[in-house]
């Protein structure tokens, strides 16, 4: 895929091995620039200095977690509607639901591939949450 010079992603992932692998997937998916952070503080600083189209993050990092992390990433006006995809490294069901309710664009299991990434982003662009993003018993309750 030819890189789109307007597409920039930020990966917030403390594990350097997984971060490098995910950055490679993003580049294969057409992201011209892939920025990296291993703490929330570093990610927030990057978001203040760079125009980013997508953030991929784990649900908890050393200096922030859960809904507070998502809110901090979207604190600035330009980032208010920034799609944030939560990386699933074995999250409990309640954390996945909490992430979706907090406004995450979806979840993406690690390791991943370009096709899985594009499916999550397509669902987000279409304004729908992926059924697999919400555990089945909770998805039924949400739709009622």
Residue 18 belongs to domain with CATH number = 3.40.50.2300
- Could you tell me how far CA 18 lies from the centroid of its own chain? 14
pLDDT at residue 126 above 70? no
- Span 5-47, pLDDT tens digits: 568 999 999 999 999 999 998 988 888 899 999 999 999 999 9
What range does the domain containing 67 cover?
Answer: 4-143
Highest mean pLDDT among 2-6, 49-53, 136-140 belongs to 49-53
What's the pLDDT score for residue 12?
Answer: 95
Report how many domains make up the chain: 1
What's the pLDDT score for residue 123?
Answer: 75
Q: Contacts by 38-45 with C-beta closer than 8 Å and gap 24+?
A: 38/12, 38/13, 38/14, 39/12, 39/14, 39/63, 40/12, 40/64, 40/69, 40/72, 40/73, 42/12, 43/10, 43/12, 43/73, 44/72, 44/73, 44/75
The pLDDT of 60-79, averaged and rounded, is 85
| pTM, full prediction | 0.79
Strands 84-88 and 106-109: parallel
pLDDT at residue 93 above 70? yes
């Amino acid at each position: 895929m030819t890189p789109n010079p307007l597409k920039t992603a930020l990966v917030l992932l403390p594990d350097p091995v997984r971060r490098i692998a995910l950055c490679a997937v993003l580049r294969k998916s057409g992201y011209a620039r892939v920025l990296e952070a291993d703490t929330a503080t570093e990610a927030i600083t990057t978001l203040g200095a760079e125009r980013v189209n997508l953030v991929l993050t784990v649900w908890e990092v050393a200096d922030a977690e859960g809904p507070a992390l998502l809110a901090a990433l979207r604190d600035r006006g330009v980032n208010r509607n920034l799609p944030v995809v939560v990386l699933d490294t074995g999250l409990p069901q309640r954390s996945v639901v909490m992430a979706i309710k907090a406004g995450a664009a979806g979840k993406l299991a690690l390791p991943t591939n370009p096709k899985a990434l594009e499916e999550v982003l397509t669902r987000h662009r279409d304004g729908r949450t992926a059924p697999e993003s919400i555990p089945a018993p909770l998805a039924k309750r949400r739709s009622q």
